């Protein structure tokens, strides 16, 4: 995630995202007065902090990242996000405005990071309509909280399974969470551990998502989250456990998932603030996985 706002992390132009990142999610598109509709523009606070940064500069930076083989998607929501898609009209508004923003800025897809709940029926309708407008190359990502992916009956998990045929990746936020049950359903694992990451990812892997649709979302270091911060080496251990069955903690999944997609971090800005340790540790390790 790249911050389109000004906070204590380092402010960055999009073109200055470190090369290790393959997929950059721009945080965030915002709601308008029309239910379901999205808007986006460079935040004035960020522009001021960078000494001037315009929509045109940003659009040029999207093209620059494309020239480097990277992809840029627009994230919808965030902790304070209020985008709601609860009926056919708002689903249409979402698809229409998202398609317009993708066309205007050159985004490669959309990320659903609605931390205040969603309606799986109408969000699925909106995403299918958006894909029909943009084409089969549309990237569709999600970043649910851990509580949202405890059961396939939950709204977020149901959405993921309902659009499994067009879904790119679910990067669950394995942080800012209380203890949660894993796929063994017999222990509550504490965040900030290999066991927590692996046991919770295992729920998704055993309940219908393909390994290539599952990513591990972790904070980039101090300042990035209120809890669940781990050393990047712990992310690598969790990836090893899931992909190879090595470097596990006391919890071991019932099988290995060599196709596990990768890792997400909140955020690029916090990673740069903390010396790029996440990118420099996790990215090269991903290249060693099956």
* Tokens, residue 193: 């551990």
Across 208-216, average pLDDT:
98
Is the per-residue pLDDT at 268 higher than 90? yes
Across 29-45, average pLDDT:
96
Q: For 7-16, 77-86, 139-148, which range has the lowest pLDDT when averaged over its residues?
A: 77-86
Query: Please, where are the H alpha helices in 72-224?
Result: 88-105, 120-134, 155-162, 194-206
pLDDT band at 80 (very low <50, low <70, confident <90, very high): low
Q: Is 115 a catalytic residue?
A: yes
Catalogue the E-assigned strands of the chain. Answer: 2-3, 23-31, 38-39, 71-78, 109-114, 139-142, 169-173, 180-181, 188-189, 214-219, 262-266
CATH numbers and ranges of domains, the chain: 2-287 (3.20.20.80)
Residue-wise pLDDT for 98-121, tens only, equals: 999 999 999 999 999 987 789 999
Looking at residue 81, its pLDDT comes to: 67
Mean pLDDT score of the chain: 96
pLDDT band at 267 (very low <50, low <70, confident <90, very high): very high
**The pTM is what?**
0.96
Across 279-289, average pLDDT:
97
Is the per-residue pLDDT at 79 higher than 80? no
The catalytically annotated residue of 11, 20, 30, 115 is: 115
Across 203-216, average pLDDT:
98
Round to whole Å and give the CA distance between 195 and 288. 21
């Amino acid at each position: 995630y790249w911050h389109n706002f000004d906070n204590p992390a380092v402010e960055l132009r999009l073109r200055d995202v470190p090369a290790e990142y393959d997929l950059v999610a721009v945080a965030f598109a915002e709601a308008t007065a029309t239910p379901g509709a999205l808007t986006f523009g460079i935040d004035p606070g960020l522009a001021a902090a960078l000494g001037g940064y315009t929509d045109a500069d940003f659009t040029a930076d999207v093209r620059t990242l494309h020239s480097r083989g990277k992809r840029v998607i627009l994230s919808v929501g965030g902790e304070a996000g209020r985008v709601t898609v609860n009926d056919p009209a708002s689903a249409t508004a979402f698809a229409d405005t998202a398609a317009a923003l993708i066309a205007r800025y050159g985004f490669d897809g959309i990320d659903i990071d609605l931390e205040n709940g969603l309606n799986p029926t109408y969000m699925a309708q909106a995403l299918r309509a958006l894909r029909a407008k943009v084409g089969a190359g549309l990237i569709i990502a999600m970043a649910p909280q851990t509580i949202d992916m405890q059961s396939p009956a939950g709204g977020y998990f149901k959405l993921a399974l309902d659009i499994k045929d067009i879904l790119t990746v679910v990067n669950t936020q394995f942080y800012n969470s209380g203890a949660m049950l894993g796929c063994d359903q017999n222990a509550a694992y504490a965040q900030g551990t290999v066991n927590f990451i692996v046991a919770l990812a295992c729920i998704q892997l055993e309940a219908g998502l393909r390994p290539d649709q599952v990513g591990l979302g972790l904070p980039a270091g101090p300042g990035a989250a209120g809890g669940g911060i781990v050393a990047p080496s712990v992310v690598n251990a969790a990836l090893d456990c899931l992909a190879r069955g090595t470097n596990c903690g006391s919890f071991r999944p019932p099988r290995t998932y060599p196709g596990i997609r990768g890792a997400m971090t909140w955020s690029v800005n916090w990673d740069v603030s903390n010396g790029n340790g996440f990118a420099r540790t996790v990215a090269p390790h991903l290249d060693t996985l099956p």
